[in-house]
């Protein structure tokens, strides 16, 4: 049997560590979503009470016709609300970043059988903040690639106008599938870079050296990684098709549908980590 196919099949032999890293991810995303949702609902309710159902036009009319003394209490309360909202959002974002770094450190220390310490944890925060720059650069490049491939696919399906007119729906579906496949491949390529950076960071805890080393690993193992990315993209595509009947049962319930999508994504992400390490010859 081909070695890569064997690694792919072996990646589905789930061990205890698979469930553990899935649980860490699930706790992070669910707790973060709940906190932001509660805070958002609180702000909406507070704003409704403060504005009393008035529209922007109503407020403009009141402000233009009322005396400064009459509107001063309202403006004071509005200022207090806006200050609270801004400070609250900033605080929640900071806490979310700290929690995210903690869970990433927890997962990768567990995968590499190492112990997480307070000193190394704070370095994870610096790493994740530094990764914003590679992310933005990659988004720019990936967007260009996606636009180019999308243009090529659209030209290919319309190369015969007569055939396209007869089979428009089928060809547009093929075009959609191809574009989604390319986009998923690009997303998984960045996640691969991210995970390899985390892996490299575990060895020396040097930020830019880890980022550079992950690129070196991608170049070194590219003959394996492109197959890994191809199979991963096919896997999530098949998985998405399989759960369509389940998702259709809850189309009217946004909450349950969101939970289903989150669980499927996090299960896939846990598998993706393990499969990636197996692909480059690491033991998990």
Q: Is residue 56 scored above 70 in pLDDT?
A: no
- What is the number of alpha carbons within 13 Å of residue 25 lying toward its C-beta? 20
In the numeric block, the tokens 């997962």 are attached to 107
Percent of the chain with pLDDT over 90: 52
Q: Is residue 174 scored above 90 in pLDDT?
A: no
Cα→Cα distances 164→102, 147, 153, 158, 258, Å? 52, 21, 13, 6, 36
The pLDDT confidence band at residue 62, using thresholds 50, 70 and 90, is low
Mean pLDDT of 81-96: 94
Q: Is residue 26 scored above 80 in pLDDT?
A: yes
pLDDT value of position 2: 74
- Tell me which of 78 and 84 has the higher pLDDT: 84
pLDDT value of position 140: 95
Q: Domain map of the chain by residue range?
A: 14-130, 131-284
pLDDT value of position 97: 94
pLDDT value of position 66: 65
Q: Is residue 57 scored above 90 in pLDDT?
A: no
The pLDDT confidence band at residue 10, using thresholds 50, 70 and 90, is confident
Joined tokens for residue 151: 């243009």
Q: Is residue 63 scored above 80 in pLDDT?
A: no
The pLDDT confidence band at residue 76, using thresholds 50, 70 and 90, is confident
Mean pLDDT of 97-109: 94
Q: How far is CA 171 from the centre of its chain?
A: 30
Residues 185-226 pLDDT 10s: 999 999 999 999 999 999 889 999 999 999 999 999 999 999
The pLDDT confidence band at residue 59, using thresholds 50, 70 and 90, is low
> What does the H/E/C string look like for the chain?
CCHHHHHHHHCCCCCHHHHHHHHHHHHHHHHHHHHHHHHHHHHHHHHHHHHCCCCHHHHHHHHHHCCHHHHHHHHHHHHHHHHHHHHHHHHHHHHHHHHHHHHHHHHHHHHCCCCCCHHHHHHHHHHHHHCHHHHHHHHHHHHHHHHHHHHHHHHHHCCCHHHHHHCHHHHHHHHHHHHHHHHHHHHHHHHHHHHHHHHHHHHHCCHHHHHHHHHHHHHHCHHHHHHHHHHHHHHHHHHHHHCHHHHHHCCCCHHHHHHHHHHHHHHHHHHHHHHHHHHCCCCC
Q: Is residue 54 scored above 70 in pLDDT?
A: no
pLDDT value of position 112: 86
pLDDT value of position 93: 95
Return the closest-CA partner of residue 45 out of 91, 85, 90: 85
Percent of the chain with pLDDT over 70: 93
Length of the chain: 284
- Tell me which of 139 and 156 has the higher pLDDT: 139
Q: Which residues contact 128 (CB under 8 A, 6 or more apart)?
A: 97, 100, 101, 104
pLDDT value of position 269: 94
pLDDT value of position 225: 94
Lowest model confidence (mean pLDDT) among 140-149, 169-178, 218-227: 169-178
pLDDT value of position 258: 85
- Tell me which of 36 and 260 has the higher pLDDT: 36
């Amino acid at each position: 049997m081909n070695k890569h196919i064997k690694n792919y099949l072996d990646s589905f032999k789930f061990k205890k560590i698979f469930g553990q890293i899935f649980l860490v991810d699930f706790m992070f995303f669910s707790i973060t979503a709940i906190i932001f949702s509660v805070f958002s609902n609180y702000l909406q309710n507070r704003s409704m009470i403060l504005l009393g159902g008035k529209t922007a036009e109503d407020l403009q009319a009141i402000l233009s016709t009322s005396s400064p003394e009459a509107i001063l209490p309202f403006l004071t309360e509005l200022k207090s609300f806006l200050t609270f909202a801004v400070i609250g959002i900033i605080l929640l974002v900071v806490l979310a970043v700290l929690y995210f770094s903690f869970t990433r450190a927890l997962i990768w220390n567990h995968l590499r059988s190492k112990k997480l310490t307070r000193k190394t944890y704070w370095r994870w925060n610096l790493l994740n903040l530094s990764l914003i720059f590679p992310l933005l650069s990659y988004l720019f490049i990936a967007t260009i690639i996606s636009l180019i491939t999308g243009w090529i696919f659209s030209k290919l399906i319309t190369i015969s106008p007569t055939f396209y007119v007869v089979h428009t729906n089928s060809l547009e579906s093929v075009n959609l599938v191809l574009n989604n496949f390319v986009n998923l491949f690009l997303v998984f390529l960045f996640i691969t870079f991210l995970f390899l950076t985390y892996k490299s960071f575990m060895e020396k805890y040097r930020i830019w050296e880890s980022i550079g080393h992950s690129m070196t690993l991608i170049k070194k193992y590219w003959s394996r990684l492109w197959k890994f990315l191809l199979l991963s993209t096919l896997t999530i595509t098949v998985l998405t098709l399989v759960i369509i009947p389940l998702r259709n049962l809850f189309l009217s319930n946004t909450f349950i549908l969101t939970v289903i999508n989150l669980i499927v994504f996090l299960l896939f992400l846990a598998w993706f980590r393990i499969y990636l390490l197996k692909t480059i010859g690491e033991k998990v």
